[in-house]
Amino acid sequence: MTDETRPDEAGTEPQTTAAEAVAVAEDDKPAKLRQAVEIKDVGPCKKHIKVTVERQDIDARFGEKFSELTGGAAVAGFRPGKAPRKIVEKRFQREVGDQVKTEVLLASLEQLAEDHDIAPLSHPNIDPAAIEMPRNGPLVYEFEVEVRPQFDLPNYKGLKIKRVVHSFTDDEVAQEERRLLAPHGQVVPKPDGKAEIGDILTADVTTRDGDRVISTIKEAQFRIDKKLAFKDAVASRFGEQVQGAKAGESRVVDVTLSTAASDADLRGKTVKATFDIKDLKTLRLPELTPVFLEQYGVHAADELHELVRVVLQRRLEYTQRQSAREQVMSHIGAAAAWQLPQDLLIRQARTAMARRIMEMRTDGISEEEIAQRQRLLQQDVLRSTELALKEHFVLQKIAEVEKIEINEDDLNEEIERLAEQSDESPRKVRARLEKEDVIDALAAEMIERKSLDLILDTAEYEDQPLTQEDSPAMSSVEAQTVPGEMHDPAVAPPESETPTPAAG
């Protein structure tokens, strides 16, 4: 008789060592498939993959399934579990074949992801129903998949970057304050005055490509700003080209047409728009009473001036950051010289736009200005998408190299910051982001921002003055300079036009 305590007497289960647990887990894991993989480049960011799974592994799976069935399958003419193996195989060949095919495909794709650095951008175009399990021989299937571009990063630390700097004058603060208060102002005649920034002109607009008249817009109103965005075009020097004009005079303005213009021959061209000025008005701004100022969270006119300066400074910081970002991307241009497939750009256009909007919101840009900048981005949506995606891939790769990550706490802090800017509750902001399906866009933007911060923190800066090209001040109208339905390049082709997936 011994003093050894028996497991049942101790009231506990036998203890298993960590090594034994790992060994058991390894035994339970399915054996790796023996498969041959051929990967070929078939286009920009696109690979054709052919997989051949050996018959021996397929037969092993069939054997396991039929062994399970033989023990309890109900087959007419036999008691449960008593039917001969060959009868069971014949009776359940189709059902077992579908199960085995599904299991083998899933295991094969998982193994493919583990063994090969493919980094897909979208789901592979595999249709399991189109793949047939052969009676004999290996299972062969093939497909195409869009993948992240592969490139080497050049040195991204210690870059020389030009930074725009500016001290805002009282006149500039007054102009911005006028823009801020314009929705609350009263439009009054300016019969003998000259057109100035902030005024409103009524004009007939005739747009010409050489001698050809493209369109005529009658009696349209335009707020005079540095830039003017039509629905399908941008006049980048609008303010400069109409300033000083009086009612009854004409001004010719350079207009660059969008790549989405309805006439394919005019897309991207710069044409001339003649503004025949019929009337000129100005804004009489509201009285800055304490009650009126409350809506801006201030109590006196001086406080409003300071608020406007903060808005201008925030906009300048955004401009600095965007300029630095463009210079960084220009430096890494050699690494980002790869092409992106057109269908990828089409599908990603809205996602890229959502990311850009999210970036502007996190930088404190107002919703009105975001809408105006969005219109500029939409003027050439595929080009802006391509630039945004290249930035995304480069900054994401830097994040991987530098091991930059964000967690749930980081995301919550960012949502709280957005809530503070919009004067909403964090719960409401999160609900809106989830409804708009841009939580992932926010997370991606945060990682990209951290990568960019790392680059900018090590950069050497050369200050240069702010120019008119750097200014975002812009007004917009719904009028089109080219009549007809605008082309939307971000609309994917019908499903019937998509290629049929290949199968072995």
pLDDT digit string (tens) for 387-430?
888 888 889 999 999 999 999 999 999 999 888 877 789 999 99
- pLDDT over 70 percentage in the chain: 83
Half-sphere exposure in the Cβ direction for 110 (13 Å, CA): 10
How far from the centroid of its chain's Cα atoms is residue 127's Cα?
27
Has this prediction a pTM greater than 0.85? no
Q: How far apart are CA 48 and CA 38, in angstroms?
A: 8
pLDDT at position 12 is: 43
Q: Which residue has the higher pLDDT, 163 or 373?
A: 163
* CATH 1.10.3120 residue spans of the chain: 160-164+297-468
Q: How far apart are CA 323 and CA 160, in angstroms?
A: 12
pLDDT at position 502 is: 37
pLDDT at position 237 is: 93
How far from the centroid of its chain's Cα atoms is residue 474's Cα?
24
User: Do residues 138 and 55 touch, judged by C-beta distance below 8 A?
Assistant: yes
* CATH 3.10.50.40 residue spans of the chain: 186-284+473-487
Q: Is the pLDDT of residue 6 over 50?
A: no
How far from the centroid of its chain's Cα atoms is residue 96's Cα?
43
Q: Is the pLDDT of residue 504 over 60?
A: no
Half-sphere exposure in the Cβ direction for 413 (13 Å, CA): 6
Fold of 186-284+473-487: Chitinase A; domain 3 (3.10.50)
User: Do residues 273 and 255 touch, judged by C-beta distance below 8 A?
Assistant: yes
Q: How far apart are CA 418 and CA 358, in angstroms?
A: 10
Q: Which residue has the higher pLDDT, 434 or 334?
A: 434
pLDDT at position 78 is: 67
CA-CA distances (angstroms) from residue 166 to 309, 313, 370, 453? 12, 9, 22, 21
Instruction: Name the pLDDT band for 437 (thresholds 50, 70, 90).
Output: confident
Q: Is the pLDDT of residue 50 over 50?
A: yes
Q: Which residue has the higher pLDDT, 216 or 371?
A: 216
**Summary mean pLDDT of the chain:** 82
Instruction: Name the pLDDT band for 342 (thresholds 50, 70, 90).
Output: confident
Range of 53-67, 161-175, 317-331, 473-487 with top mean pLDDT = 161-175
Task: Please calculate the CA angle 372-378-384 and round it to the nearest 5 degrees.
Answer: 110
User: Do residues 238 and 212 touch, judged by C-beta distance below 8 A?
Assistant: no
Instruction: Name the pLDDT band for 229 (thresholds 50, 70, 90).
Output: very high
Q: Is the pLDDT of residue 63 over 90?
A: no
Q: Is the pLDDT of residue 235 over 90?
A: yes
User: Do residues 71 and 85 touch, judged by C-beta distance below 8 A?
Assistant: no
Instruction: Name the pLDDT band for 332 (thresholds 50, 70, 90).
Output: confident
Instruction: Name the pLDDT band for 251 (thresholds 50, 70, 90).
Output: very high
Give 269-274's long-range contacts (Cβ < 8 A, gap of 24+). 269/209, 271/207, 271/208, 271/209, 271/214, 271/481, 272/207, 272/208, 272/209, 273/205, 273/206, 273/207, 273/208, 273/235, 273/481, 274/205, 274/206, 274/207, 274/208, 274/250
Q: Which residue has the higher pLDDT, 371 or 244?
A: 244
Tokens of 54: 């050996």
In this predicted model, what pLDDT tens digit does every residue of 92-146 receive, in sequence order? 677 777 888 888 999 998 899 888 878 787 778 788 888 888 888 999 999 988 8
Mean pLDDT over 490-494 rounds to: 50
Mean pLDDT over 184-213 rounds to: 92
pLDDT at position 338 is: 74
CATH numeric code, 29-146: 3.30.70.1050
Fold of 160-164+297-468: Trigger factor, domain 2 (1.10.3120)
Q: Which residue carries 């290249």 as its tokens?
A: 390
pLDDT at position 26 is: 46
